[in-house]
Amino acid sequence: MTSLSSMTRVIARAMYVIAGVALTLSMFLTVCDVILRTVKHPITGTFELVGLLGAVVIGFSLPETSRMRGHVIMHFLTQRLPHGPKMALHVLTRLLAIGTFALIAWNLVGLGDTFRQTGETTPTLQLPFYPICYGIAACCFVECLVLFVEIFDREEKRV
């Protein structure tokens, strides 16, 4: 389990860096577009690029945020439970989340295939949608790995 845990950590961290770069590009692009609009030369396709970069930011930051336990958790519902039921609930919720993210990933791969076959692109810049679908699907699969590793993580079992 240690090798799977370390592999998942490396992949999630790399995705987190990609999300950070996408966020930085999105901010830079927006600032440049606002400045250039004042001199009547807006950047063509800014809206499309910021939207696509936003999808990258959200999807690629998800696995590392989960790994760092950065999401909101409602502990007040489980804090008074005995250790056994608390652990059973922990495992059950992780298994449900794995199933949900696997289903989302599977559907995103299908959507990406459809976009690739039909040639679906953004209206202005004609950028294809399918790489974004495949990228977010990969993020969901990595999220499944993060959640699986979390089931066996000893740190979480002390909670």
3-state SS, one letter per residue, for 42-74: CCCCHHHHHHHHHHHHHHHHHHHHHHCCCCCCC
What is the reported pLDDT for 69? 86
Q: How many domains does the chain have?
A: 1
Residues of the chain with pLDDT under 50: 156-159
For residue 120, the enclosing domain spans: 2-157
Asked if 56 contacts 19 with a C-beta cutoff of 8 angstroms, the reply is: yes
DSSP 119: T
What is the reported pLDDT for 159? 44
